[in-house]
């Protein structure tokens, strides 16, 4: 598959706008939409327990989708739990692990986390009397690994994002996971910005829990997410929600949970979303993750180089080997929203604001950034158009 021309033909919107808002949500290829349409038009039914053939077909496709997701991240079939999104997955992880903590236990994370990988742990710490500690890092988002080793020693849980949605920095998750395992700590990975953009293997990362959304890197629909739960935690992880589909037997006095993964998926799931997510993953696999990484690296290199030439301040690691396809910048004295509005007038879609990472913005002493984020269907020609508009904007301010 040629990059990005053949892919762009599968996504009509790429011919109408320059879409640089992939960190928030990616565009959807036709094969994903077609897979979902097939479910809704040809075998629309609920999954599990149904005897009729439509339910049997829906169940088969739903569970095939789980297998595709599991294989994609190196997990076992039963370790994959479907959720709404990364935020729900991380909240479920925190709620389900309440029982493993004792007052005074320590949770270690970083000051660069998305709110979804910060607030659940803050709430848990306040509720249970835990200590929340942060690994030191610099203004580019680079972590102090010596400090990480010191903080992780004796910790009960370590929660780390793989890629920062605000700065684009790729954290040393594999190394941090190894530190956590050596200390017997539970290791939680927020992979919202890495799955679908680069190789993610739960075993290589030493992840006990890992969360991501379908609508970002994997090119799937909104409303579907994944929580990976390592098998050894099945009996200590208490399902936050129980009811339809989660039980083996019920008496008026008590109940018995069914086996994973069903025990973690109460009620009717997003069947069409799971099927769409699997179709997105198959589309990604056809392209190849290595090719996707290379394409995004080219775009980041040209974008950061162009902004530097224009003397536009940008944020994140200067070592571009550690910089994923997310470039945040500002154009003083304009507010980030004003810059985004100018770009929108030129059919260039970017995100502006604090990006659900307020501690990062406060650390940098700014009220937000403009963020251009890429996927494989973005092209160097689009970056050149973006830089041309930026050049005119900068000239108008001088």
Query: What residues have CB less than 8 Å from 151, skipping those under 6 apart?
Result: 108, 133, 134, 135
pLDDT for residue 198: 98
Question: Is the pLDDT at 108 greater than 90, yes or no?
Answer: yes
Question: Is the pLDDT at 1 greater than 70, yes or no?
Answer: no
CA distance 79 to 229: 5
The phi-psi region of residue 316 (left if phi > 0; otherwise alpha if psi is between -120 and 50; otherwise beta) is: left
Whether the full predicted model's pTM is greater than 0.85, yes or no, is yes
β 209-213/186-190 pair status: parallel
Question: Is the pLDDT at 3 greater than 80, yes or no?
Answer: no
CA distance 163 to 171: 6
For the segment 14-35, what is each residue's pLDDT rounded down to a tens digit?
A: 989 999 999 999 999 999 999 9
pLDDT for residue 373: 98
Give the pair of three-digit tokens for residue 216.
């970002």
Please name each of the domains of the chain with its CATH number. Answer: 31-285 (3.40.640.10), 288-396 (3.90.1150.10)
**Closest to 120 in 3D by CA, of 153, 157, 151, 150:** 157
pLDDT for residue 398: 81
For the segment 132-171, what is each residue's pLDDT rounded down to a tens digit?
A: 999 999 999 999 999 999 999 999 999 999 999 999 999 9
Whether the CB-CB separation of 363 and 370 falls below 8 Å is answered with: no
Percentage of the chain modeled with pLDDT above 90: 97
Question: Is the pLDDT at 274 greater than 90, yes or no?
Answer: yes
Q: How far is CA 287 from CA 14, 28, 297, in A?
A: 17, 15, 16
pLDDT band at 2 (very low <50, low <70, confident <90, very high): low
For the segment 294-344, what is each residue's pLDDT rounded down to a tens digit?
A: 999 999 999 999 999 999 999 999 999 999 999 999 999 999 999 999 999
Q: How far is CA 135 from CA 74, 141, 176, in A?
A: 28, 11, 11
Residues acting as catalytic residues: 356
């Amino acid at each position: 598959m040629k990059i990005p021309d053949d892919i762009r033909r599968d996504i009509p919107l790429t011919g109408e706008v320059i879409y640089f808002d992939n960190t928030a949500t990616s565009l959807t290829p036709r094969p994903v939409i077609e897979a979902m349409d097939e479910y809704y038009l040809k075998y629309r039914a609920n999954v599990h327990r149904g005897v009729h053939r439509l339910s049997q077909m829906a169940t088969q496709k739903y569970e095939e989708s789980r297998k595709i997701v599991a294989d994609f991240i190196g997990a076992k079939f039963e370790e994959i739990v479907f959720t709404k999104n990364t935020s729900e997955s991380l909240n479920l992880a925190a709620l389900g692990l309440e029982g493993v903590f004792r007052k005074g236990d320590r949770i270690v994370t970083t000051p660069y986390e998305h709110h979804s990988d910060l607030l659940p742990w803050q709430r848990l710490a306040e509720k249970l009397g835990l200590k929340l500690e942060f690994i030191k890092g610099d203004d580019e988002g680079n972590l102090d690994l010596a400090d990480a080793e010191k903080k992780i020693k004796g910790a009960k849980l370590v929660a780390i994002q793989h890629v920062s949605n605000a700065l684009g920095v790729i954290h040393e998750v594999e190394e941090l996971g190894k530190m956590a395992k050596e200390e017997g700590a539970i290791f939680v990975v927020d992979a919202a910005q890495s799955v679908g953009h680069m190789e993610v293997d739960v075993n290589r990362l030493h992840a006990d829990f890992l969360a991501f959304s379908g609508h970002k890197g994997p090119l799937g629909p909104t409303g579907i997410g994944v929580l990976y739960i390592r098998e050894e935690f099945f009996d200590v992880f208490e399902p936050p929600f129980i009811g339809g589909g989660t039980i083996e037997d019920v008496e008026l006095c008590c109940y018995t949970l069914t086996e994973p993964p069903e025990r973690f998926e109460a009620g009717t799931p997003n069947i069409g979303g799971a099927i769409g997510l699997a179709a997105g993953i198959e589309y990604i696999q056809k392209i190849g993750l290595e090719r996707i990484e290379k394409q995004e690296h080219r775009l980041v290199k040209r974008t950061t180089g162009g902004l530097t030439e224009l003397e536009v301040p940008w944020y994140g690691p200067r070592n571009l080997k550690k910089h994923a396809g997310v470039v945040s910048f500002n154009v003083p004295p304009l507010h980030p929203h004003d810059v985004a509005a100018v770009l929108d007038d030129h059919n260039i879609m970017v995100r502006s604001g604090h990006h659900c990472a307020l501690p990062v913005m406060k650390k940098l002493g700014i009220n937000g950034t403009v963020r251009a984020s890429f996927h494989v269907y973005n092209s160097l020609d689009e970056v050149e158009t973006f830089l041309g508009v930026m050049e005119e904007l900068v000239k108008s301010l001088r």
